[in-house]
Amino acid sequence: MTDGAGHEVVVVGSVNADLVVGVDRRPGPGETVLGSDLATHPGGKGANQAVAAARLGGRTAILGRIGDDGHGELLRAALGAARVDLAHLLLTPGPSGVALITVDPGGDNSIIVSPGANAHLTPEDVANARDLIAGAAVVSFQLEVPQPAVLAAARAAADAGARVVLNLSPAAEVPAELLALCDPLVVNEHEAAFLLGERGEPEAMARALLARGPRSVVVTLGADGALTADAAGVTAVPSPRVEAVDTTGAGDAFTAALCLRLARGDGLAAAARHAARVGAAAVRKAGAQTSYPKAGDDLPS
């Protein structure tokens, strides 16, 4: 695929190598625990969302940066294998981004990200990808790349009539201008509490987030599904009950499926219902990208 091919989803975001260790429990301060053998997987919130959308059959592209190291070779190969358009996957001298991940027996994870090449994505890169962004139905963002690049790309997407979806992860303060472009803003409960300055009942948080300026909001609730909020009100979206093996990439699978369904014309609540099923499917397998369902796979219901 090339610029102007009419991508359904363009992802502007991070591309990382996930270094994963299983642990019986996470260490406390000053404590050492033994873990499993180290596993290396392609990841990064941007790459995860691009791969998840592509595996679901979406015409997908990514704007991001990788390093000229061995991890970069792995990451490019994984995106290419998923048939993601790599015309704007840019090479930076130095290390690729890396995520250090621990996974406990319940499938819950803790993550530390070293940005590497991701920190070098610039508004100039966005300007050079203006045709790519202008040809998208939905442009998806996260915050593992610098905010100036995110804001520049969100402006370009909105100016071109594309739908802007921002996953506020990792949680960070963002300008009101960026929030106003979001349709929807996607957050989990921790990110919602960060943005609001306090934790509350999920429906109240969804309404409070909507009052901050985005056109719509999705609050993900893990195994309890999600809430959508827009001018029409708040809608609860249940999640199928599954046995969780690894939750590492579930949020990215949810956001990717949400973006793809919005690109294809679904309403917000309908898109979130499908996304919850995709997210539930993703937690049933280990890893992030390796866990994502393909178009035609049976999804939990």
29: in domain: no
Flag whether pLDDT at 130 surpasses 90. Answer: yes
Residue 47 known to bind ligand: yes
Residue 223 known to bind ligand: yes
276: in domain: yes
28: in domain: no
Confidence of residue 1 (pLDDT cuts 50, 70, 90): very low
144: in domain: yes
Residue 144 known to bind ligand: yes
68-79 confidence digits (pLDDT tens) = 999 999 999 999
Which pTM does this prediction carry? 0.91
Residue 116 known to bind ligand: no
209-253 confidence digits (pLDDT tens) = 999 999 999 999 988 999 999 999 999 999 888 887 777 789 999
- Is 85 known to be catalytic? no
| pLDDT the model gives residue 288 | 78
- Domain with 74 in it: what CATH number? 3.40.1190.20
| pLDDT the model gives residue 275 | 96
The full 3-state SS of the chain, as one line of letters, equals CCCCCCCCEEEECCCEEEEEEEECCCCCCCCCCCECCCEEEEECHHHHHHHHHHHCCCCEEEEEEEECCHHHHHHHHHHHHCCCEEEEEEEECCCCEEEEEEECCCCCEEEEEECHHHHHCCHHHHHHCHHHHHCCCEEEECCCCCHHHHHHHHHHHHHHCCEEEEECCCCCCCCHHHHHHEEEEEEEHHHHHHHHCCCCCHHHHHHHHHCCCCCCEEEECHHHCEEEEECCEEEEECCCCCCCCCCCCHHHHHHHHHHHHHHCCCCHHHHHHHHHHHHHHHCCCCCCHHHCCCCCCCCCC
45-92 confidence digits (pLDDT tens) = 999 999 999 999 999 999 999 999 999 999 999 999 999 999 999 999
35: in domain: no
| pLDDT the model gives residue 113 | 86
Q: How many domains does the chain have?
A: 1
86: in domain: yes
Residue 81 known to bind ligand: no
Residue 221 known to bind ligand: yes
| pLDDT the model gives residue 283 | 86
Residue 285 known to bind ligand: yes
261-287 confidence digits (pLDDT tens) = 999 999 999 999 999 999 999 988 877
> Residue 162's domain spans which residues?
9-14+45-95+117-291
21: in domain: no
Catalytic residue among 24, 252, 297, 298: 252
131-151 confidence digits (pLDDT tens) = 999 999 999 999 999 999 999
259: in domain: yes
Q: What percent of the chain has pLDDT over 70?
A: 98
